[in-house]
């Protein structure tokens, strides 16, 4: 209705303007005024129509909504495919695909989840490992809401686009969903079918990467740890919410993680002590010929740093002195990540976040974990440096 | 002082940009130094805010890179003190930190 009136006013303005040019001089001003009024009226109707369209699409911003044509969507799909193929591992492929979709579509949020284990006795329970921090957080048991896009994607093995615009892209290997890319709603609204088709383009290459054995070598998720785990991924959230990424809240639908058995604990320790080969390879890139023995120097520097910081850590723990604990965990967070001790870096990050959010209820077991992981990392470094020492 | 002055610029080439790198952690200091030297910067290291201010009392770099969280004078306080020193009002200062909370980022 508004658009019809707008068009009518526009043509009326055009007609009045044309008549003003041809009419006798005494009618000219009247017709010109009428043309101006009709133009203003048409503009007002156009703005009202635009505002109504934005309201209907949930767009309150002043920017005009833009859309994606089929060629643009195809190009985005191809970019995601190229990123998946070029990635070093399956996990990296998953993260890269998520990044492409997030950047190209302007998605509000993207998270990659490895489905580490699905309970046979309960289809709505799954153990997931969040892609945040390169899948180094511990596996976490979650209860899937059967109506959510995530649960439907896990169970159906198909791309699911939710009513609010978000979507879930499952990756299947041998008929089992091994990972899910959960995508928030695009900032620019787009048709659910087009969104689904675009995501389906990435499903096959991701499945191929997931089924390739070599792609899993450095991509295994860390085993379960008590109290560990991560689910929500939103880098812009405030610290209290960041804490909830690791520790279940009362309103969290996930079930608490049970204490791990001794085998799992041993496995966790082994994983904690292992230095990430990719991180070490990155360090080596700074010293391509190895002439400067950079990796060795960095590992030695880490040992020196640990020798300085760990006594401070133990003393602060006895206090407890939270500021000192925060300083040590913050410092170790960066340096352990640099040498590829990713599990230790994750624990340090969790300790820092807990102290920052002033919630120290879960601090004690986390500090235990940090001590154990540090000992394992130092043992690993000793083993690496030993023969040449 | 535990300072390691970088090599001087090669003759005939434009002078390397001088960077004062301040970080209390050995690993981060080493890695950042290597990465910046690799890109042609001349690095002078300091392991604390206090040490950095002493260095700045007799020498002016082109840019200062400060770790935010350090014992003693932290990066924020170091930056504030530096800004109060004559001649350093507009010296470029970069805060290099793993602090990812909004408050720290805004403060930096």
Alpha helices in chain A (DSSP H): 2-22, 28-56, 70-86, 90-105, 149-156, 192-211, 239-244, 262-273, 277-285, 294-318, 322-338, 342-356, 363-385
pLDDT of residue A55: 62
pLDDT of residue A354: 86
CA distance B8 to A200: 56
pLDDT of residue A71: 67
**Which residues does chain A have with pLDDT short of 70?**
1, 53-71, 116-125, 132-139, 189, 211-273, 386-389
pLDDT of residue B81: 92
CB A182 within 8 A of CB A69: no
Which residue of A238, A298, A327 is in closest CB contact with B31?
Answer: A298
pLDDT of residue A245: 24
* Type and span of the H or E element at B26: helix B26-38
Contacts A–B by Cβ distance under 8 A: 47
Contacts of B27 in chain A (CB under 8 A): 298, 301-302, 305, 334-335, 338-339
Contacts of A284 in chain B (CB under 8 A): none
Whether residue B38 has pLDDT greater than 70: yes
Among all residues of chain A, which has the CA nearest to that of B34?
A286
Q: Which strands form A167-173's sheet, in the order they lie side by side?
A: A140-143, A125-130, A110-118, A176-183, A167-173, A160-161
pLDDT of residue A122: 52
CA distance A148 to A140: 18
Whether residue B43 has pLDDT greater than 90: yes
pLDDT of residue B6: 41
CB A102 within 8 A of CB A110: yes
Which residue of A287, A297, A333 is in closest CB contact with B98?
Answer: A333
- In a 3-state reduction of DSSP, which class is residue A27? coil
C-alpha distances out from residue B71 to A312, A326, A358, B25, B47, Å: 12, 11, 20, 10, 10
Question: Of the candidates A240, A97, A65, A123, which has an alpha carbon nearest to the alpha carbon of residue A180?
Answer: A97
- In a 3-state reduction of DSSP, which class is residue A178? strand
CA distance A112 to A180: 6
CA distance B24 to B35: 17
pLDDT of residue A344: 92
CA distance A8 to A126: 59
Q: What token pair was written down for B38? A: 């690799």
Render pLDDT for A330-379 as a digit per residue (tens, 0 to 9): 889 988 988 999 999 999 988 988 888 877 777 888 898 898 889 888 88
- ipTM surpassing 0.95, yes or no? no
Render pLDDT for B52-84 as a digit per residue (tens, 0 to 9): 999 999 889 999 999 888 888 888 899 999 999
pLDDT of residue A226: 34
Q: Does B31 touch chain A (CB under 8 A)?
A: yes
Which residue of B27, B35, B98 is in closest CB contact with A330?
Answer: B98
């Amino acid at each position: 209705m508004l658009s019809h009136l707008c068009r009518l006013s526009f043509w009326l303005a055009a007609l009045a303007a044309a008549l003003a040019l041809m009419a006798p001089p005494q009618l000219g001003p009247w017709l010109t005024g009428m043309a101006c009024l009709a133009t203003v009226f048409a503009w007002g109707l156009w703005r009202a129509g635009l505002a109504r369209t934005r309201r209907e699409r949930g767009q309150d911003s002043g920017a005009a909504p833009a859309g994606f044509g089929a060629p643009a969507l195809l190009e985005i799909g191809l970019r995601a495919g190229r990123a998946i193929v070029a990635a070093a591992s399956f996990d990296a492929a998953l993260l890269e695909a998520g990044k492409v979709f997030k950047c190209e579509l302007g998605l509000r949020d993207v998270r990659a989840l490895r489905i580490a284990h699905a309970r046979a006795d309960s289809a709505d329970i799954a153990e997931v490992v969040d892609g945040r921090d390169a899948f180094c957080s511990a596996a976490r048991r979650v209860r899937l809401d059967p109506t959510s896009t995530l649960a439907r994607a896990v169970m159906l093995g198909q791309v699911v686009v939710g009513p609010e615009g978000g979507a879930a892209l499952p990756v299947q290997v041998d008929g089992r969903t091994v990972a899910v890319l959960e995508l928030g709603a695009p900032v620019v609204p787009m048709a659910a079918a087009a969104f689904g088709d675009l995501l389906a383009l990435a499903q096959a290459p991701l499945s191929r990467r997931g089924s390739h054995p070599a792609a899993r070598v450095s991509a295994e998720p860390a085993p379960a740890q008590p109290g560990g785990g991560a689910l929500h991924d939103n880098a812009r959230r405030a610290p209290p919410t960041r804490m909830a990424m690791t520790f279940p809240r009362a309103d969290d639908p996930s079930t608490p993680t049970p204490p791990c058995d001794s085998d799992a604990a041993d496995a966790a320790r082994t994983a904690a002590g292992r230095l990430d080969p990719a991180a070490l390879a990155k360090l080596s890139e700074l010293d391509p010929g190895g002439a400067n023995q950079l990796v060795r120097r960095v590992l030695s520097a880490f040992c020196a740093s640990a020798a300085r910081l760990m006594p401070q850590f133990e003393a602060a723990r006895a206090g407890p002195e939270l500021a000192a604990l925060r300083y040590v965990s913050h410092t170790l967070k960066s340096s352990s990540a640099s040498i590829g001790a990713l599990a230790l870096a994750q624990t340090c990050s969790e300790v820092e976040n807990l102290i920052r959010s002033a919630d120290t209820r879960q601090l004690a077991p986390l500090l235990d974990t940090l001590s154990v992981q540090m000992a394992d990392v130092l043992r690993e470094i000793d083993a690496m440096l030993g023969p040449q020492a | 002082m535990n300072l390691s002055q970088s090599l001087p610029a090669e003759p005939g080439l434009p002078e390397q940009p001088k960077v004062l790198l301040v970080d209390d952690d050995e690993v981060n200091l080493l890695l950042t130094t290597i990465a910046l030297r690799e890109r042609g910067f001349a690095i002078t290291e300091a392991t604390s805010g206090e040490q950095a201010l002493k260095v700045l009392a007799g020498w002016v770099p082109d840019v200062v890179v400060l770790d935010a969280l350090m014992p003693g004078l932290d990066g924020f306080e170091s930056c504030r003190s530096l800004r109060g020193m004559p001649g350093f009002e507009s010296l470029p200062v970069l805060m290099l930190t793993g602090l990812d909370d909004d408050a720290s980022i805004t403060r930096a």
